[in-house]
């Protein structure tokens, strides 16, 4: 689970790569934000089966897919290993859930291709939480989303788990 130290080290970047967690935290304090924690499924198996270069290619393909889905003002960054965070300002739970499902599905249809190994696919599990102005902090929402991510993993992977049922 997310340690406070790890959260401070995590840099959440927007499209032009200029903002960090502090900026995302200030946005979350002022507006409702959806908070997603994403993890590439069975990443160790990818590294063990295809090699570390293939694992790196899988992470690049995954990150590129996420970046293509970002809107202006969204924040995306790597938390460590194969785990990433995505902050969607001014986004309701239903919108965020639909966004996460579209992203999950798009990633599941991707193929990672390299000359050295046969092509392979990847999937992603996603935990979804939210912040409210004057309510829970970004740190709290990241911790909830991280717990929901692990529920998604335990539930079979390649799925989105949300703290609330989208209305």
Active site residues: 82
Distances from the Cα of 29 to the Cα of 81, 139, 140, 144, angstroms: 27, 11, 12, 16
Q: How many CB atoms lie within 10 A of CB 39?
A: 23
Distances from the Cα of 38 to the Cα of 114, 136, 160, angstroms: 24, 20, 9
Q: How many CB atoms lie within 10 A of CB 47?
A: 16
């Amino acid at each position: 689970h997310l340690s406070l130290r790890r959260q401070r080290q995590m840099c959440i970047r927007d499209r032009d790569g200029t903002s960090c967690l502090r900026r995302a935290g200030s946005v979350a304090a002022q507006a409702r934000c959806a908070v997603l924690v994403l993890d590439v499924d069975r990443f160790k198996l990818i590294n063990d089966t295809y090699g570390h270069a293939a694992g790196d290619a899988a992470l690049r393909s995954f990150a590129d897919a996420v970046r293509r889905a970002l809107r202006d003002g969204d924040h995306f960054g790597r938390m460590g290993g194969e785990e990433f965070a995505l902050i969607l300002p001014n986004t309701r739970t239903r919108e965020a859930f639909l966004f996460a499902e579209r992203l999950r599905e798009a990633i599941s249809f991707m193929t990672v291709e390299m000359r050295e190994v046969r092509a392979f696919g990847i999937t992603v599990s996603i935990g979804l939480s939210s912040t409210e102005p004057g309510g829970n902090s970004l740190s709290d929402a990241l911790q909830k989303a991280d717990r929901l991510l692990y529920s998604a993993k335990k539930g079979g992977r390649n799925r989105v788990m949300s703290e609330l049922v989208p209305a």
